[in-house]
């Protein structure tokens, strides 16, 4: 085995070779639901740009394949990803027959594999660079700005997923804000209820096993069933408690989705609060008692700050899980990005599925990176 080859580079180069030469780069369809025809890189772009893109991905793959300095690998992955992102939009314009509003151009497996391969390279470089938490958030912000710029500039407007968006721009943002409200609102409710409950479970040992067992069992109920089961009690409340109906509580819609997400969120928050408080060193508590701190002072001044990173880890689990689960709310009329996913599955229109799935994944991913960074920062601070 020659040491000059990078092991991960071999994998990346193999994926790039397959994706660039054997897999289709873009798909052309006469309208949004018929099966598509494949287009390779050279067919999807002009005579000048096609070979240019091929050259860029091949050079980047060679840089990945050989043992090269990290900076060079970083540059190769960023350049390749940027070229792919810009040129898929160009391919969309190039492949759309002029004046035809029914034709749909979408990125095909070759494009996605190339994106995957170079994201792998980028992820590897970033992992090896061992970035500080703030720098990681910085990379996320730069990536988000770059994608936002491409979206605003209209570079991608001829791609099928954005055509689906153009037809539904208003409902997209409405469902999006519902999705975020559901995910964040249920998290906030779970923190407000879960933290005191966790503290109580920590203080009163007899309560602990019972509460955690009940919350564990709630987690085993499949999400679609829990969403459905809450329809009846909430419908009853709406019918019999006048204030509830005025507050917007209904049997179907957002209310049962909110309550279901709240119930799923409780376990990670309560369990991590208990674990975090249990992990507070006895010496710290003794010292606080010796200083004459009251119970309340000790809780807020000593125990809580020390347990905070563990509690935050619970909140991270909940947030990422809620962003994903909120898609299910669409099944019971609760709105959110799931509306597009299920509509798309029903019409076998994959662009519509992507319109719901891509923002969901992006939100969950961003939430995970940001909270991981915050956790790391609080953990190092409380160690000091």
Partner 1 sequence: MKEAGVKAWLPSLLRLALVVALVAFVTNPGWFEPLLKPLTENNAPAIYNQGSLLTLTLLHLRTVLIATVAATVVAISLAILVTRPAGAEFLPLSRSLVNIGQTFPPVAVLALAVPAVGFGEKPTLIALFLYGLLPIFENALTGLTTLPGNIMEAARGAGMTGWQRLIKVELPLSAPIILGGIRLSVVISLATATIGSTVAAKTLGEVIIAGLLSNNLAFVLQGGLIVAALAVLIYDGLSAIERYTARRMGQETGH
Token digits of residue 357: 């799935």
Residues in Cβ contact with 355 at an 8 Å cutoff, skipping those fewer than 6 apart: 161, 164, 165, 168, 172, 340, 344
Min CB(159)–partner 1 separation in Å: 16
Q: Which residues bind partner 1 (CB under 8 A)?
A: 6-8, 120, 123-124, 126-128, 217, 219-226, 228-229, 231-232, 320, 323-325, 327-328, 331-332, 338, 341-342, 344-345, 348, 350, 353-354, 356-357, 360-361, 364-365, 367-368, 372
Pairing of strands 26-29, 104-107: antiparallel
**Choice between 90 and 331, CB closer to partner 1:** 331
| 126 versus 193: smaller Cβ distance to partner 1 | 126
**C-beta pairs of 345-350 under 8 Å, 24+ apart in sequence:** 347/33, 348/33, 349/32, 349/33, 349/164, 350/106
Q: Rank residues 55 and 239 by Cβ distance to partner 1 and give the closer one.
A: 239
DSSP 157-175: TTBHHHHHHHHTHHHHHHH
Residue 354 tokens, joined: 């992507």
In this structure, the chain runs to a length of: 384
CB-nearer residue toward partner 1: 240 or 296: 240
Residue 234: closest CA among 218, 220, 253: 253
Q: Which of 343, 378, 4, 371 is nearest to 164 (CA)?
A: 343
Residues 6+ apart with CB under 8 A from 270: 194, 197, 198, 201, 211, 212, 215
Q: What is the smallest separation between the CB atom of 201 and partner 1, expressed in angstroms?
A: 20
Nearer CB in complex with partner 1: 109/285: 109
Q: Which residues touch 282 (CB under 8 Å, ≥6 apart)?
A: none
Cα–Cα distance between 247 and 225 in angstroms, integer? Answer: 24
- Chain position carrying tokens 């975090």: 276
Least distance (Å) between residue 118 CB and partner 1: 14
Closer CB to partner 1, 368 or 379, in the complex:
368
CB of 237 to partner 1, least distance (A): 15
Nearest-CA neighbor of 276 among 237, 304, 246, 318?
304
In the complex, the smallest distance separating the C-beta of residue 194 from partner 1, rounded to whole angstroms, is: 21
Q: Cβ closer to partner 1: 46 or 348?
A: 348
Name which of 255 and 332 has its Cβ closer to partner 1. 332
Q: What CA–CA distance (Å, rounded) separates 227 from 206?
A: 31
Q: What DSSP assignment string belongs to 114-140?
A: HHHHHHHHHHHHHHHHT--HHHHHHHH
């Amino acid at each position: 085995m020659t040491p000059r080859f990078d092991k991960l580079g071999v994998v990346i180069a193999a994926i790039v070779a397959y994706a660039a030469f054997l897999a289709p780069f873009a798909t052309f369809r006469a309208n949004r639901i018929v099966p598509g025809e494949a287009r390779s890189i050279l067919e999807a772009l002009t005579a000048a740009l096609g070979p240019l893109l091929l050259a860029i991905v091949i050079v980047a793959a060679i840089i990945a394949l050989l043992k090269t300095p990290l900076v060079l690998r970083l540059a190769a992955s960023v350049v390749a990803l940027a070229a792919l992102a810009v040129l898929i939009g160009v391919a969309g314009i190039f492949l759309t027959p002029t004046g035809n509003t029914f034709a749909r151009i979408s990125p095909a497996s070759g494009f996605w594999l190339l994106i995957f391969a170079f994201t792998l390279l980028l992820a590897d470089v970033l992992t090896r660079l061992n970035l500080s938490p703030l720098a990681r958030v910085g990379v996320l912000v730069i990536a988000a700005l770059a994608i936002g710029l491409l979206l605003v500039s209209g570079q991608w407007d001829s791609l099928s997923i954005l055509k689906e968006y153009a037809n539904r721009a208003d409902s997209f943002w409405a469902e999006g804000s519902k999705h975020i409200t559901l995910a964040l609102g249920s998290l906030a409710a779970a923190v407000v209820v879960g933290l005191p409950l966790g503290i109580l479970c920590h203080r009163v040992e007899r309560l602990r096993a019972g509460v955690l067992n009940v919350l564990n069992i709630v987690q085993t109920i499949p999400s679609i069933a829990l969403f459905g089961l809450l329809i009846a009690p909430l419908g009853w409340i709406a019918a019999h408690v006048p204030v509830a109906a005025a507050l917007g509580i209904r049997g179907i819609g957002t209310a049962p989705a909110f309550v279901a997400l709240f119930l799923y969120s409780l376990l990670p928050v309560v369990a991590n609060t208990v674990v975090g408080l249990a992990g507070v060193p006895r010496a710290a508590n003794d010292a606080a008692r010796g200083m004459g701190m009251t119970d309340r002072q000790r809780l807020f001044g000593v125990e809580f700050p020390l347990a905070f990173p563990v509690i935050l880890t619970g909140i991270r689990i909940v947030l990422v899980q809620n962003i994903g689960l909120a898609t299910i709310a669409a099944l019971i009329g609760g709105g959110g990005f799931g509306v597009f996913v299920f509509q798309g599955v029903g019409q076998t229109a994959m662009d519509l599925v992507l319109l719901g799935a891509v923002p969901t994944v992006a939100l969950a991913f961003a939430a995970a990176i940001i909270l991981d960074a915050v956790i790391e920062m609080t953990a190092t601070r409380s160690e000091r």
